Amino acid sequence: MMGERPCGSVLEVAFRYRHGCHVGQLSERHPDVLIAQWCNFHVEVLEVHTRDARRIQAMVKELTVLAGREAKLLASDLDGGDVQLVQVPCPHQRGAAIGTLIEQHGCLYLQPLLYHEGWERYRILAFEEGQLRALFQALAERGEVELLTKRAMKGGLLNRVFMIPANELLAGLTGKQARALLDAVERGYYKVPRGTRFEDIAKARGVPRTTFEEHVRKGEGKVLTAVAPYLAMVVREREVAGLGNGAPAPAPAPTSRSEPQPRNPGARPAPRRPAARASPARGPRTGSRPR
C-alpha cells in the first residue's frame, strides 16, 4: 500500500456506513434522534439530541443491553435541555473497529462520528487514491457503504480541519454584549462601506449611544482576545510558507539627497539667513595702518 502514487492533493471524504454496531442499532430504533460519538477505544461519549426525558432514560437502558456494558447519563441539561450526554465503556477491540480499518489504509479519521436513521457518517482525510479505493472495498465486505462527498482540500490542514469551540470564543460575553454585537452585524455596521451607525442602532433599541457602543467594544475585545491564539497560528503558518518561497521582503528604496523631503505640516519653517557679502580685495599689507 505504501507504494501507491499520491493523489496530488489531500482529499476530504465523507461517507455513510451501516454494519449493525450497538450505537447503529440504537439509532435505528430512534431514527429521528441525532447522535454524535467520541471514542478512544476505552470509553465512548455520546451526545444525544433529544429533550424527551423518558426517551433518554429508555435509550440508556437499551444501550446497556446492546453494548453489553453499563451506560450512564452524565448530563441532561446541556443547551437548555436539548442535548443529553451519555457515557458507556467501549465494547470494541481496537483491531476490529472501523476507525482502525481507516487508519490501516493510510487515512485519518476525524471525530465525531454521527449517527442518524441507523447510518454512521464519517469524515476522513485520504492521501492516496489507491488506499482510498482499498478502504471502500474493505468496508463493502463488512457492511453497506455510500460515498457522500470527495473533494480536494485547498490550504493547510490546520485551517481546514481545526475547529474552534464556540463556547471558548463566546463564553466571556454577557447577554447585552452578545446582543449588541449581533445587532451590529445584522444591521451592516461591519460592512464596507458601513450600512449603519451606532446612533441608528442605539435609537432603534431605545438605549443611549454611549451604552450601546460600550457593549459592542467590550464584546469585540473579548471575542478577539479569545481568537488571538488561533489567529497567531494562521499568521505563523503563512509566514513560514512565505519564507519557504525564497522571496524575502523587498528593502525600502534609499532616499536620494536631491529629492525633497516631506515637511511636517505642524512645524514652522526655519528662518532664512542672509547671504554673506564678498569682502573687497585687499592689497599687500605694508605694516602701517591707514589713517
pLDDT of residue 163: 61
What integer is the mean pLDDT of 199-209? 95
What integer is the mean pLDDT of 63-89? 87
Whether the predicted pLDDT of 22 surpasses 90 = yes
Q: Domain coordinates of the chain in residue numbers? A: 11-154, 166-243
What pLDDT, in 10s, does the model give residues 210-256? Answer: 999 999 999 999 999 888 877 877 787 677 766 544 444 444 454 44
Q: In angstroms, rounded to a whole number, what is the distance separating the alpha carbons of residues 14 and 223?
A: 31
CA-nearest of 178, 158, 129 to 241 is 158
The answer to whether the peptide bond before residue 31 is cis (omega within 30 degrees of 0) is no
Cβ-based neighbour number of residue 27 at 10 Å: 24
Question: Looking at 14-18, 96-100, 107-111, 118-122, which range is the least confident one?
Answer: 96-100
What integer is the mean pLDDT of 122-151? 93
Topology classification of domain 166-243: Arc Repressor Mutant, subunit A (1.10.10)
pLDDT of residue 259: 44
Q: Grid coordinates standing for 89?
A: 465503556
Write down the mean pLDDT value for the chain. 80
Question: Looking at 48-52, 127-131, 234-238, which range is the least confident one?
Answer: 234-238
Whether the predicted pLDDT of 50 surpasses 70 = yes
pLDDT of residue 204: 94
What pLDDT, in 10s, does the model give residues 252-270? Answer: 454 444 444 445 444 455 5
Asked if residue 36 lies in contact with residue 47, where contact means CB atoms within 8 angstroms, the answer is: yes
Q: In angstroms, rounded to a whole number, what is the distance separating the alpha carbons of residues 122 and 114?
A: 7
CA-nearest of 163, 159, 152, 164 to 236 is 159
